[in-house]
Amino acid sequence: MSLPHAILTALLEKPSSGLELTRRFDRSIGYFWSATHQQIYRELGKLEQAGLIRALPSEVPARGQRKEYEVLPAGRAELADWARRAEDPKPYRSALLLRLRAAAVVGTEGLADELRRHLLLHQAQLDEYMSMEERQFPPERDTDADRLRHLVLRGGIELERFWVGWLTEALEGLPDTPAPS
């Protein structure tokens, strides 16, 4: 149920067309709640049908023209209700952790390369987040909304730091376990 709420959040931050919204997802919300462009467009239709958003009237009606959407009061109320709701953490799923568990049974051949690949990916993501933090959150940006957005980014930074540290430790301690006969 979180994709509609992610879209409502993005539209409340700035009314957007579907294309603009998918681009903004790729640059911000998508770092922690991913969705394909098709999912976003499908959800926009559902939100509009439910009366939570509306397409803004176009100055020049034309076939195939992009629609710009805004959140209606019912959409704002839905998002506020959702933000206040309690929700238990979801179990974490990781194919990489499952691979390590499997390697304990079948051997570690190729595992170090995969761990190094993941380490490089997480280090690159950490570098990107750190660069975003420097650009987007100078000391003078200190409103309540800025502090909350920064807190979200800091969560991403800390998760990437965890993965970089954990993967480094895993590579250093990786046993040379041959496959059982």
Sign (positive or negative) of CA dihedral 38, 44, 47, 51: negative
Assess whether pLDDT exceeds 60 at residue 111: yes
Assess whether pLDDT exceeds 60 at residue 177: no
- pTM for the model: 0.79
Query: Torsions phi, psi of 68, nearest 5?
Result: -105, 135
Q: Is 122 exposed, middle or buried (0-12, 13-18, 19+ CB in 10 A)?
A: buried
25 band by pLDDT with thresholds 50, 70 and 90: confident
Query: H helices of 107-143, where?
Result: 111-136
Separation CA 40–CA 35 (nearest Å): 7
Assess whether pLDDT exceeds 70 at residue 1: no
Separation CA 47–CA 53 (nearest Å): 6
What are the residues whose beta carbons fall under 8 Å from the beta carbon of 89, sequence distance 6 or more? none
Sign (positive or negative) of CA dihedral 123, 125, 130, 131: positive
162 band by pLDDT with thresholds 50, 70 and 90: very high
Classify strands 68-71 and 53-55 as parallel, antiparallel or unpaired. Answer: antiparallel
Helix (H, G, I), strand (E, B) or coil at 90: coil
Separation CA 119–CA 168 (nearest Å): 7
Instruction: Provide the 10 A C-beta neighbour count for residue 35.
Output: 20
Q: Which two tokens stand for residue 99?
A: 């691979």
Query: Which pLDDT score, from 0 to 100, does residue 28 have?
Result: 82
